[in-house]
């Protein structure tokens, strides 16, 4: 365990987590390296604009802009598919299931408490807004290195430092956990599969024996997790916040183009919604 800790901390002794940085650069090498704060403002703007839409033209122009942002970000299609699937599982299916249950209970009981006071347009608008919030967060966090996100949070949460809250200590814990998960995720997955095969056994074993085997795997994983907590605690104590994350505001041509694009989009949508039909 100590060898693992030393290997993890070795790049940090040089002043920066070079191993983690290289991993992030590999993941984000195809994305225009926008400033983290400017990109966050862009994501917030994209996530909040649909709440002000009333006309169809606003939706159409917004979707065209969102498509352009997606193409520029060059995010992997696999990531988009996984995001869409997770949205369907976590948001869409439970929401539609709740509506279906309300309709069924109303027809069975004739209780007005189960009446849905929402039209199809309102339901669509609500789901669309939730999807855009989800999508904007996916675009941001999948195209921004974790050290940039934490460094930005460290700057934004500066007022809490004035009242002696250990903001950097909390962020250090988060960063160390991310480093540990990235470094051992595949190893734990492989070990879990191999252990599961050896404990659970073939199809001839009865259900009770398989459940006992699964419980042994879970207990073993919990014990290993507690051991990792001790390792993470030592890691947090040995490194400084500057070695783990940092952020400095930068303004280049790319940041200027991004700010100009979202500004023009907001002005265009405002004219459509409030401009007495100047563009429609």
Q: Where are the domains of the chain?
A: 1-29+146-248, 32-142+250-280
Contacts of residue 214, defined as CB under 8 A and 6 or more positions apart, other chains included, come to 196, 199, 200
Confidence at residue 49, expressed as pLDDT on a 0 to 100 scale:
93
Residue 136 pLDDT class (50, 70, 90 cuts): very high
Confidence at residue 17, expressed as pLDDT on a 0 to 100 scale:
43
pLDDT above 80: residue 238: no
- Interhelix angle 146-156/36-48, nearest 10 degrees: 80
CA distance 22 to 28: 10
- The residue among 176, 183, 145, 174 whose CA lies nearest residue 238 is 176
Collapse the DSSP code of 117 into the 3-class scheme (helix H, G, I; strand E, B; otherwise coil) and give the result: coil
Contacts 24+ apart (CB under 8 A), 225-232: 227/1, 228/180, 228/184, 230/1, 231/1, 231/4, 231/5, 231/180, 232/173, 232/176, 232/177, 232/180
pLDDT (mean) for 25-42: 69
- The residue among 255, 261, 226 whose CA lies nearest residue 34 is 255
Give pLDDT tens digits for 81-104: 888 888 888 888 888 888 888 778
**Whole-prediction pTM value?**
0.68
| Between 171 and 116, the higher pLDDT residue | 171
Inter-residue contact 116 to 102 (CB < 8 Å) = yes
Residue 185 pLDDT class (50, 70, 90 cuts): low
- The residue among 150, 170, 152, 174 whose CA lies nearest residue 41 is 152
């Amino acid at each position: 365990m100590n060898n693992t800790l030393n290997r993890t901390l070795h790049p940090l002794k040089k002043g920066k987590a070079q191993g983690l940085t290289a991993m992030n650069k590999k993941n984000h090498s195809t994305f225009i390296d926008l400033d983290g704060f400017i990109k966050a403002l862009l994501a917030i703007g994209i996530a909040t604009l649909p709440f002000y839409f009333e006309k169809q033209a606003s939706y159409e122009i917004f979707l065209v802009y969102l498509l352009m942002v997606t193409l520029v970000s060059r995010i992997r299609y696999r990531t988009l598919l996984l995001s869409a699937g997770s949205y369907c599982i976590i948001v869409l299916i439970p929401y539609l299931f709740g509506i279906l249950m309300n309709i069924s209970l109303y027809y069975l009981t004739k209780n007005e408490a189960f009446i849905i006071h929402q039209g199809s347009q309102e339901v669509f608008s609500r789901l669309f807004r939730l999807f855009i919030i989800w999508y904007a967060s996916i675009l941001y966090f999948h195209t921004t290195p974790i050290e940039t996100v934490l460094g930005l949070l460290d700057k934004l949460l500066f007022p809490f430092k004035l009242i002696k809250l250990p903001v950097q200590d909390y962020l250090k814990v988060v960063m160390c956990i991310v480093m540990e998960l990235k470094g051992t995720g595949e190893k734990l997955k492989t070990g879990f599969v191999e252990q599961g095969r050896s404990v659970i056994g073939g199809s001839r074993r009865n259900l009770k024996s398989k459940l006992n085997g699964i419980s042994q795997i879970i207990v073993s994983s919990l014990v290993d997790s507690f051991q990792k907590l001790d390792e993470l605690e030592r890691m947090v104590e040995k490194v400084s916040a500057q070695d783990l994350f940092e952020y400095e505001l930068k303004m280049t041509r790319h940041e200027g183009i991004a700010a100009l694009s979202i500004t023009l989009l907001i002005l265009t949508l405002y004219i459509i919604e409030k401009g007495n039909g100047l563009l429609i």
